[in-house]
């Protein structure tokens, strides 16, 4: 004896578990948007800032590898930091503490301190300047960077938002 089975698919009724899953997915999307400041980056024009960075005790022969116009990227993420606008070379110094408690400051003939101006793009937020919209940059922050000519560490000393 053969039985006849209905080939029509079962209808799925919407229930509380479906509602909870949909609500959780929407909450996750909103959380990610808030965390990465996506609302500001979608609704606001990109801000431009010029940051001043210091490279301490760079060997004199490596100063030539800081080429105006070079694009610097973060070593850790390969994201673009900005473009080198200018550089200023100053003598590096060595501080010696003498036995009498005073300090002797001598110029280091093999090294220089370099102050660079870097143009960066991002967004000014209430939490500070966000390069590319999601990477905080502020005075005192140390950044590992590279360009086509050099790999080094920057110390941010100033940020000026361009109007």
Residue pLDDT, tens place only, 39-77:
655 556 788 999 999 999 999 999 999 999 999 999 999
- Global pTM reads 0.70
Closest CA to 72 of 34, 112, 14, 117: 117
CA end-to-end span of the chain: 85
Residue pLDDT, tens place only, 13-47:
778 888 999 999 999 988 887 776 666 555 567 88
Antiparallel, parallel or unpaired: β 151-161 and 71-74 = unpaired
């Amino acid at each position: 004896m053969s039985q006849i089975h209905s080939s029509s698919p079962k209808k799925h009724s919407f229930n509380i578990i479906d509602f909870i899953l949909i609500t959780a997915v929407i909450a996750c999307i909103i959380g990610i948007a808030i965390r990465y400041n996506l609302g500001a980056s979608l609704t606001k024009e990109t801000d431009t800032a010029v940051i001043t960075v210091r490279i301490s005790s760079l060997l004199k022969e490596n100063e030539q590898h800081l080429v105006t116009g070079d694009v610097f990227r973060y070593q850790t993420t390969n994201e673009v930091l900005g473009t080198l606008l200018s550089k200023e070379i100053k003598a590096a110094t060595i501080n010696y503490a003498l036995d009498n408690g005073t300090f002797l400051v001598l110029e280091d003939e093999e090294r220089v301190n370099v102050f660079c101006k870097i143009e960066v793009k991002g967004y000014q937020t209430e939490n500070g300047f966000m390069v590319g919209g999601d990477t905080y940059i502020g005075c005192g922050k140390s950044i590992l960077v590279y360009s086509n000519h050099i790999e080094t560490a920057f110390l941010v000393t100033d940020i000026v938002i361009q109007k």
